[in-house]
Amino acid sequence: MQTANQQRAKQNATFGCLGAIVLLFLIAWVWGKASPKPAEPAPVGSRGTLSVASDPTVLLAVDNVAFDELAKSLIAKDWVGVASLIDQGRAFETPRGTRALVIDEGYGTREVRLEDGPQVNQAGWVPMEWIHNQ
């Protein structure tokens, strides 16, 4: 038979485990509420500004084929390839913070029409992450 002290110790251990479980669930719930939600992709018709990290300019491709080539060159850090696309007129730069209107969408990409800057009214393709809400 268990003594009263043994029963109390067993009861305290049970309540301690239940308390720890409740605390873990509470922490997980609060953590989930505090976590920032990912940015919504910019839908067609929305406006935003263009930026990439702390780069002073943003590169745009004139069509989907040029976008694929530009993306491959950027990933490979093939700066000669990037320069070649710009020289051929298949890609261009615009200053960071340029305002843009989303006019089409692709898988992970958006076509935008620039609303200010040196290439105002020119259209180009960028990754959707480069478009930030105004």
pLDDT of residue 62: 97
What is the pLDDT, as a whole number, of residue 15?
46
* Whether the predicted model's global pTM rises above the 0.75 cut: no
* Average pLDDT taken over every residue of the chain: 82
In this prediction, residue 17 carries a pLDDT of 43
Please check whether residue 42 lies inside any domain of the structure: no
* One domain, residues 75 and 113: yes
Sign, CA torsion 37/38/39/41: negative
Contacts 24+ apart (CB under 8 A), 71-78: 71/127
At residue 13 the predicted structure's pLDDT band, cuts being 50, 70 and 90, is low
**Residue 94 pLDDT exceeds 90:** yes
pLDDT of residue 53: 87
pLDDT of residue 18: 41
Domain co-membership, 69 together with 124: yes
Token duo for residue 132 = 């930030």
More confident residue, 82 or 31: 82
Residues 128 and 83 in one domain: yes
Number of domains in the chain: 2
Containing domain of residue 19, as a range? 1-37
pLDDT at 117 over 70: yes
26 & 58 share domain: no
Buried b / exposed e along 64-98 (16+ C-beta atoms within 10 A): eebbebbbebbeeeeeebbeebeeeebbbbbebeb
What's the average model confidence in pLDDT over 61-87? 95
| Same domain for 79 and 21 | no
